[in-house]
Structure 1
Amino acid sequence: ALDAHLWTYRDDSFLPHATWRVGDVADQPIVLAIEPDNPNGANVRFLVDNAAMPDDAQAYERMVLLFNGDDPDALAAARST
């Protein structure tokens, strides 16, 4: 759903990206992935909706947690990370 939304949101706000399924994933600036690996050698990783912290989290310059701040459980989970 996120992939489709990024392709169709607005013509003037296109964000070049691919999913982990493409053959040239290592050449993509932004990769939407559900696997814990880092297929394009990114230095920033976004985790959405309580996605698990990857084992190699220390390899990234920054980890960004996206969650519903109005959800007490999501807020508690983000704070415990």
Structure 2
Amino acid sequence: MGAVYFYHLTQRPLEATLPQLLERALLQGWRVAVRGRDEGRMGWLDQKLWLGREEGFLPHGLAGGPHEAAQPILLTTQASAANDPQCVMAIDGAEVSPQEVMALERVCVLFDGNDGEALAKARTQWKALTDEGCAAQYWSEESGRWEKKAER
């Protein structure tokens, strides 16, 4: 049974935080699906992952693209991912079910703490998932470094 980790972004934007979490997931040997809600935003994120890192790129692809099933990281707006992930990273309020949390190694919910709507959505997701018995951790970077603030 997996767990869901909530990442409350307040100091750095998604495009700075996500690559670090993706690297950690790949080091665990996991395939990852990054799930968003908007195709245009996923295209933007695709460009950021290819061009935005001095250390090199993270191997990834967009859902519907060539060899999507072989991608270590797949950017998608769909609930199912062709790369058979062990980890899902939900961004921009993408939905995650309790069944997914329990079936996967890890689910990460990343949300912009400076956006009231995103914060409210994350709170709703936390309550829904923990009420269904999912193990959950809440991490905040408010102090300038990541700190675990809650666990259920």
TM range (shorter): 0.7 to 0.9
Out of 104, 109, 113, which is 1:65 matched to?
109
Deviant stretches of 4+, over 6 Å: none
Distance change in 2, residues 1:56/1:23 (3 Å): farther
The structure that is strand-richer by fraction is 2
Q: Does 2:120 match 1:76?
A: yes
Distance change in 2, residues 1:20/1:55 (3 Å): farther
How many residue pairs are counted as aligned between the two chains?
81
Q: Say which is worse superposed, 17-26 or 56-65, in terms of deviation.
A: 56-65
Match of 1:46 in 2: 89
Contact 1:20 1:31 in 2 (8 A): yes
Match of 2:78 in 1: 35
Unaligned runs of 5+ in 1: none
- Higher RCO (CA < 8 A, seq sep 6+): 2
**CA root-mean-square deviation:** 1.8
The TM-score normalised by the length of structure 2 is 0.48
CA distance in 2, matches of 1:54, 1:2: 23
Unaligned runs of 5+ in 2: 1-43, 126-152
The TM-score normalised by the length of structure 1 is 0.83
